[in-house]
Structure 1
Amino acid sequence: MKALFALVLAIFAVHQSRSFFLLDLYKNCCTPLVYFGNGRAACQPNRLLRACCSVLSYKCNPGYTLTGSPVNICSNKIWTIQHPSCEKENPCLSRRRVCHRNAICTQTFSSYRCDCKDGYSGDGRRNCERTCDRPRPPSEGGLKPDKQEYDDGDTVEFFCNPGYKGFYGRNTAYCRYGFFNSNPPVCLKHDCSPPPSIGNGKMTPSSRLSWAAGHTVTYSCNEGFILVGVAESQCQSGGTYTNSPPQCVETCETPIAPGNGTLMASDTLHWKNGDVATMSCNAGYEMMGQSSSTCTAGNWDPPFSVTCTLMLPVEEGSG
């Protein structure tokens, strides 16, 4: 009898302890999360009580980022932490760079925008190069297009005002990496074209950067040539010179008069092409040879070969 009573007490104790155990399990059961915006919450049931939701794991839909803990545990029928949320991903905060290093990323409603920082230009994503400040325009000139800032790759053209001409620097410049690749030209007053040079001679000055009104050029001839025309010419504001360039004409040496003879027009200093020299004999002398010759290309044609010989007196009654 005592044995039966002990068995009944043992069975009662087992059922009572199981009841307390089940009560403890139900304390850790919470209501599953029905809606989790832009994601899903998966319930991990207890092994003993399949209908009991004791652990929640959260996962966001593609394009969204979880803000908060990815796991929540039930305790005393209450979720221990606040449910997380799924926020739309911000590409600007991505580890993968979506904008150029010199650009600012701004998230938009549907995507993102890349804007180059101040002082840079480009599409913001692939390139943002430093811009160029407005270059100094040439004196007595300008530039086009004329703006305060130029994008990388822009070209600016320099020009001189009417009456001026550019020297030294280039006519164009290219903006690259924040700097222009050339300096503007120097614009100098330029009224006349350079004066022409002359054959067998030279001009002084031989050259200059610009020929402005009042500038003078002087011509001279090489040895053996004489200048025909005006040696000096001056640039005028209208773009013309006061005189036409002269010519340098080859000369002939002054012929030597024969003995007992004279060279007519012997006061001539220079014998130029086409001049004619004539010899004559003194009284009582007779000329032998050609009396005249023409200066041709620096030589006498025909060459002088003149002699003056004494005329013998004629005897009376001879013949």
Structure 2
Amino acid sequence: NCINPPKLENGVWFHRTAQTPIQVGDRVVYKCNPGYVGKGPSRSIQCKDDSTWSSLLILCEPRSCGNPGEILNGYYKGTSSTLGSKVIFYCEKGYRLVGRNYRMCTANGWDGQIPRCESGTCDDLPPIPNGETPKPPNNEHWEIGMVATFSCRDQYSLIGASDLVCTETGKWDKDPPTCKVVECQPPPKIRNGRIVTGWRPPFKYQKGVTYACSEGYTMVGSKTIECRENNEYIPSPPRCIKSVDCQQPRTIANGYIISAPRSTYKYQDRITYSCNRGYVMVGNNIIECNENGRFVPESPTCKL
């Protein structure tokens, strides 16, 4: 008798009579698991006179699912087409994928359906109150790459982006703008300074105002402010402070000043320190002349 036929990786054996033990001269036949294909000269082995088995001459190799399917205006990427492999589908520029973007090689072949690539379009744009919403060329479709330009009626200002682009995802790259009446109050005056541009009305959306300080004064803040959609100026108007001089910065032990020396230091002038070789800096390496005529923060130190 023969017992325990050799195991076949990714396969099973069976005996026509299902009797055990198996008699001398009987054969067992091997079958590959689903998804595998048998390769070899024989699918069976025989129980020999010495109660041993003849050589096993079959291998079970993963089946190939073949081509996962070609798509018009698209392509797929994958390293293999055997059992368990995955391919991913892509569309050429200007097209968008409809359907699942991948397929898996299973025991029954490629799963799912072949996706398709459709010419990319974006939805029509909603109308905006007090403005003009653009229509697609020839009243057909907004295709990928097209630009839609909005505009507002005379007394209204366009808030947001005027140009929207239809992207490869089939979505517009920005939200549509709005049209709003925007007019700021006359720009505020500042002490020890004056408005040099933008002082005449009307003070409409995004109209800028530029300030300058009187002689002997230094500006703190932005010299230009702008009328924004909330009818206020952004940022706040600057201040003009009396010009100040900072004292010569102190030297530091085991370090030195990198920046070129000056006879006087004005508001917002900066000093940069560095340490000698073998030392590390403790503190900030840059200090600045402030409106009170002092360098801030404190000069750093150099530690061995």
Return the index of the structure with the highest Cα Rg: 1
TM-score bracket, shorter-length normalisation: 0.3 to 0.5
Q: What is the TM-score of this pair, normalised by structure 1?
A: 0.31
**Structure showing greater relative contact order (alpha-carbon pairs closer than 8 Å, 6 or more residues apart):** 2
Q: What is the TM-score of this pair, normalised by structure 2?
A: 0.32
